[in-house]
């Protein structure tokens, strides 16, 4: 399992925004600079996260990027799946009919449990708790 660099940047962007005051917006250029993310790459990531309902964007002098909902209601899974799509360890877990070995596959259950554990862990980790941990680490 490997998250893309795009997902990593998406996670760092949401964590950055979760560390701000509620409703505060910031320019993508500032996020890019502070998080060492190429600006053009960040624009694509912000767009995907806005489409997924994770971020809100506004143009103009008072524009910028902000969280679309409270950080406590945004999970790591929300961000990863908005960028990389559904988490699948192997394709046959979500579509067993697609595998000719599904009836006699001794590893399928183990992989299914691992996939569920990973999804569950990412779903139960929200950005409010991550931002709190980050603040403690930086102080």
Identify the CA nearest to 71 among candidates 27, 17, 25, 28: 17
pLDDT tens sequence across 83-128: 999 988 887 777 767 777 767 778 888 888 999 999 999 999 999 9
- Report the domain count for the chain: 1
Report helix angle 5-18 to 39-51, nearest 10: 70
CATH at 27: 1.10.10.10
Domain span at 30:
5-86+126-138
CA atoms of 28 and 131, how far apart (whole Å): 19
CA atoms of 48 and 105, how far apart (whole Å): 36
Query: Would you say residue 97 lies in a domain?
Result: no
Q: What is the pTM of this model?
A: 0.89
* DSSP assignments along 44-100, one per residue: HHHHHHHHTTSEEEE-STT-EEEESS-GGG-BHHHHHHHHH-S--SSGGGT-GGG-T
Query: Would you say residue 115 lies in a domain?
Result: no
Query: Would you say residue 33 lies in a domain?
Result: yes
The percentage of the chain sitting over the pLDDT mark of 70, rounded to a whole number, equals: 96
């Amino acid at each position: 399992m490997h998250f893309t660099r795009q997902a990593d940047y998406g996670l760092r962007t949401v964590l950055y925004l979760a560390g701000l005051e509620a409703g505060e917006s910031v320019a993508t250029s500032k996020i890019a600079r502070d998080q060492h993310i190429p600006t053009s790459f960040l624009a694509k990531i912000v767009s995907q996260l806005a489409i997924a309902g994770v971020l809100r964007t506004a143009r103009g002098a008072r524009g910028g990027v902000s969280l679309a909902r409270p950080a406590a209601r945004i999970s790591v899974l929300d961000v990863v799946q908005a960028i990389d799509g559904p988490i699948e360890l192997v394709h046959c877990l979500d579509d067993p009919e697609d595998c000719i070995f599904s009836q006699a596959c001794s590893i399928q259950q183990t992989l299914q449990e691992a996939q569920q554990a990973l999804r569950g862990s990412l779903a139960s980790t929200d950005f409010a708790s991550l931002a709190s941990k980050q603040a403690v680490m930086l102080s």
